[in-house]
Amino acid sequence: MLRFLGWMGIALMGSTLTSCGQIRSRLGLEPEPPRTAPPVVSDAPRSAPLQPGENVIVKAVDRVGPAVVRIDVVKEINNPLGRMFGLGPSIQRQQGQGSGFITRSNGLIFTNEHVVRGADKVAVTLPDGRSFNGKVLGGDPLTDVAVVKVVAEKLPVATLGDSNSLRPGEWAIAIGNPFGLNNTVTAGIISAVGRTNAIGEGQRVPYIQTDAAVNPGNSGGPLINAAGQVIGMNTAIRQAPGAGLSFAVPINLAKRIAQQIVSTGQASHPYLGVQLRTLTPQLAREINATSTECSVPEVNGVLVVDVVADTPAAAAGIRQCDLIRQVDGTTVKTPSDVQIAVDRGEVGQPMELSLERDGEALTVEVTPEELPRRG
């Protein structure tokens, strides 16, 4: 019995000693055992925290807003039934509305061609309430750019930016007059640039795509960046379930077309005279299996499907089934790429086309002519 108590005492003593060791460790009197470092799951560099600042949208709108105008148009339409059968007046009036922005203090205004197309009367109203009669200097239906002039001095102007340097994710701010609600501001981001298939194939405009809300009446108004510079002209809308997409003409293109309109009253578009199609490996296999006139490689590219007689392309020796690889050093992948690259040239100024024919690379020089205008 005494021996048993002795062993119990030893056991209790051991238990007491262990508990004291744990207490000393918890009190910081004993060093803790080394801990294993956790695994590294991110090696991103540290960055400075974001700092609160001024509202860039407010500042941008303050800069450009005073130069954004409402454009009201009146079109007089002949009504032959009214004259012959007394069904209404012989002349009917149609009214429309859009937006624009002043680019020169003496009254030069950019807007969309479709806003002022066929207008008999144009009224321009500034945010400060002043109103002027406007004159359409000219419009270009291919790019949907027009220029309006009012007789005035010292008007507020919008600063034009550089649309060539835009990147998706940047701020995109739209100002206009949707549904007659003057000086409406909406904001979003640039969703994409260079959208040549935004409103159909074969476009000559590399549109800026944004998610800023744009509605009827915004047409011709400015799309601006966070620095308060105009980077585009709001032009088109594509409605989609739950949301809509908006597209703007890049300001660099709008400026170039406007310069031509101010100089000559119309826009100039170089013309080659070829019919193009996007080539795919599947299409190439179909052509090679059914055509006896030519063989094309099973690649992606731009295929010449027809050359119009007596055109610059025919004179340069471009042939059906040629693949266009480059236009003046710019690589092209779609027919729209070719049109845009050609449109950057000038009528009467030679340009080089890099082609592929029967597996061989060759370069031709073609001198574009003025695109025939539709009567």
Of 82-96, 158-172, 205-219, 290-304, the least confident: 82-96
- Active-site residue, selected from the candidate residues 144, 322, 337, 343: 144
Of 42-51, 129-138, 250-259, the least confident: 42-51
- Show Cβ contacts of residue 114 under 8 Å, excluding neighbours closer than 6 positions: 141, 144, 219
Q: CA–CA separation, 89 vs 93, rounded Å?
A: 10
More confident residue, 146 or 298: 146
Is the model's pLDDT at 29 over the cut of 60? no
Both tokens of 336, joined, read 């729209």
Three-state secondary structure call for residue 85? helix
Q: CA–CA separation, 150 vs 303, rounded Å?
A: 46
Domain with CATH 2.40.10.10 in the chain: 67-78+93-150, 163-264
Residue 41 has what pLDDT?
52
Of 82-86, 194-198, 230-234, the least confident: 82-86
Fold classification of 270-370 (topology level): Pdz3 Domain (2.30.42)
Of 30-34, 151-155, 336-340, 344-348, the least confident: 30-34
- Show Cβ contacts of residue 112 under 8 Å, excluding neighbours closer than 6 positions: 98, 144, 145, 146, 219, 220, 233, 235
Residue 7 has what pLDDT?
43
Domain with CATH 2.30.42.10 in the chain: 270-370
Nearest to 74 by CA among 120, 29, 107: 120
* Dihedral pair phi/psi, residue 4, rounded to 5°: -65, -40
- Catalytic, 219? Answer yes
Residue 295 has what pLDDT?
83
**What does the angle CA 297 – CA 301 – CA 305 come to, to the nearest 5 degrees?**
80
**Confidence band of 336 (pLDDT split at 50, 70, 90):** confident
- Catalytic, 263? Answer no
Radius of gyration of the chain (CA): 34
Q: CA–CA separation, 329 vs 313, rounded Å?
A: 17
Q: Does domain 67-78+93-150 have CATH number 2.30.30.100?
A: no
- Catalytic, 337? Answer no
CA–CA distances in Å: residue 69 to residues 55, 59, 151, 250: 24, 18, 14, 19
Q: CA–CA separation, 9 vs 305, rounded Å?
A: 104
Write out pLDDT tens, residues 112-169. Answer: 999 999 899 999 999 999 999 999 999 999 999 999 999 999 999 999 999 999 999 9
- Active-site residue, selected from the candidate residues 72, 99, 163, 219: 219
Is the model's pLDDT at 4 over the cut of 50? no
Is the model's pLDDT at 86 over the cut of 80? no
End-to-end distance of the chain based on CA atoms, in angstroms? Answer: 125
Is the model's pLDDT at 1 over the cut of 80? no
Is the model's pLDDT at 13 over the cut of 50? no
Q: CA–CA separation, 280 vs 298, rounded Å?
A: 7
**Confidence band of 173 (pLDDT split at 50, 70, 90):** very high
- Active-site residue, selected from the candidate residues 114, 191, 211, 328: 114
DSSP code per residue over 188-236: EEEEEEEETTBTBSS-S--EEEE-S---TT-TT-EEE-TTS-EEEEEEE
CATH architecture of the domain with range 163-264: Beta Barrel (2.40)
Residue 56 has what pLDDT?
84
More confident residue, 13 or 291: 291
Residue 3 has what pLDDT?
46
CA–CA distances in Å: residue 146 to residues 149, 162, 200, 217: 10, 19, 21, 16
